[in-house]
Amino acid sequence: MSSRDSRFDGQFITGVHSTGIYCRPSCPAATPKPSNVSFYLTSAAAHEAGLRACKRCLPDAVPGSPEWDIRDDLAARAMRLIGDGLVEREGVPGLARRLGYSERHLTRVLVSELGAGPLALARAHRAQTARMLLVGTDVPITDVAFAAGFGSVRQFNDTIAAVYERTPTELRRAYSPAKPPGCESALSAPSASPKGQIVRSREVVDGGGGTGGGTGISLQLVARAPFDGVGVLRFLAARALAGVEQATDARYARTLRLPAGPATVELTLTGPPSAPGVTCRARLTSLADLAPLVSRVRRLLDLDADSQAIDRALSGDPHLAAGVAATPGMRVPGSLDPEETLFRALIGQQVSVAAARTVLTRLAEALGEPLPGADSADSAADSAADRDAHTAGSAQAGHSAPLTRLFPTAERIAAEGRTVLRGPASRVDAIIRVAEALRTGDLVLSFGQSREDLESRLMALAGIGPWTAGYVALRVLGTPDILLTSDLALRQGAGRLGLPADARHLARHGAAWAPWRSYAGMHLWRAAGATTGATTSAANRDLSPAS
């Protein structure tokens, strides 16, 4: 607190009992006496202790805690699902059911470990979503209440007053662009970017698509510095599917399914290296999908990773030090849709990224549901040209084709996948079995699963081995400590850095990288794509295991 180190913003909350407020660690207010301070993992715990948010530093306007990905226990898994808006959709009974525990046991664990029960944690999450909308958009206040998940305007007003000691109107006025908070850190949303706004036009995402009569919105998301945003977008661009995604080094757009219906989202890198951010422009079927959208985008881009701690740990290995120095803040790309990620992993096994992209593009075109409001007829010529680029293996494929369709559902793949999928019969059979298991509910993928549970459920299915299960856990759960030593490209990258190139010895050497082996793996994949005089990144390399 005395050093006002912004690296710890979002990782814990400081409660000052003499003033009755809680702050971010970098708050510029006078340092309180140690006897007056308590530390909390969540703002909900501070609320439960009778504290309100500091008006000077806005402790909620920071990147999220990386703790929930590092930990894989019940409390961390619950926080992932609460952040995804599950309590608003299914209530505490639904949260407990998803986690496999009784409501009573879940509440006891959360109160013991996080200082607040599931209702209080969900209430704090709703307050943070409401603050983001009030400060960063021009959405009408009544709409903000229901978009944030509150059951009534009165409940919304009471919560905002209790947490921020201001009415919603006062909170919006206090942090408007004309009067930014004087002590906001560079990481905070209000001072890091212009105020977002509600967008009523059809072209919310400049991709030629649409979602019928949905609502458009633009927000600024903060990232924990340093942030290799270009590297993440290159990874996504190498796998972009025509009609479903568009991607460049600075922009990524796509269609997706959210709880209330289909949506489109466009992500653009913004801000200087010291205060990186992402502009998120979306069109939603319902504003109630805003919280899950923001949560999933943050997971996709790994915005909350403790990059300074990761880089410091990995740079201690002389073989990785140069790569860490050249690319600080490397991220592990996450997932917007667990089921889609699983199908991509299955189809991408033992083939190049370009070959997998061709198959997936054909699958999406044949079985993907048309995006409501998209005019696919006008984009037929563009789609055909883009398919030709995919077939040729062009790195530019998928960058400009209009957004016209959603990725196919498990139901559609189970019913019609055999008419589209090509390749060894055993692989096609495995994909159809997985689709059928997802369709019937025999297999369920969730951001709230533990790594052990997810991997064991996947490997119980014929055709899924350790690489696929580990890769899905890495992408879907954001597990930071997975090293896929069976991956050929990863071992090639290790060899180029002077590390052991066989799986057993690489695993032994990589034990020293714990708990950040997923990030070490990203550096090895990057090294696999780095040849003398070449500029191709590991994002454009095959990430499948050896055949």
Provide the annotated active-site residues.
Answer: 23, 487
Residue entry with tokens 């495995």? 430
Q: Confirm if 207 and 399 have CB atoms less than 8 A apart.
A: no
Q: Reduced to 3 states, what is the DSSP secondary structure of residue 52?
A: strand
- Would you give the DSSP letter of residue 409? P
Query: Are 70 and 39 in contact, with CB atoms under 8 Å apart?
Result: no
Q: What is the dihedral of CA 154, 156, 157, 160, to 10 degrees?
A: 160
- For residue 50, the 8-state DSSP code is T
List the alpha helices (DSSP H) in 447-502.
Answer: 451-459, 466-476, 488-496
Element containing residue 180 per DSSP (H, E): none
What gap in Å lies between CA 290 and CA 294, rounded to an integer? 6
Provide the strand spans (E) within 133-247: 198-199, 215-222, 245-247
Q: Where do we find the tokens 């299914």? A: 90
DSSP secondary structure string for all residues of 343-367: HHHHHTTTS-HHHHHHHHHHHHHHH
Q: 46-62 as b/e, with b when 16 or more CB fall inside 10 Å? A: bbbbebbbbebbbbbbb
Which tokens hold the place of 418?
């055999």
**φ, ψ dihedrals at 52, nearest 5°:** -120, 165
Decide: 267 and 206 in contact? Cβ < 8 Å: no
Contacts for 137 with CB less than 8 Å, ≥ 6 apart: 195, 196, 197, 198, 217, 218, 219
- Please state at what angle helix 488-496 crosses helix 517-528, rounded to 10 degrees: 80
According to DSSP, the β-strands at 21-23 and 277-284 are unpaired
Residue whose C-alpha is closest to residue 187's, from 253, 81, 270: 270
Length of the chain: 547
| CB neighbours of residue 112 within 10 Å | 9
Both structure tokens of 314: 């990995």
Bridge-partner residues for 218, per DSSP? 281
The position carrying tokens 């994909």 is: 431
> How would you list the strands of the sheet with 52-53, edge to edge?
37-40, 13-16, 21-23, 52-53
- Residue 440's SS3 state is helix
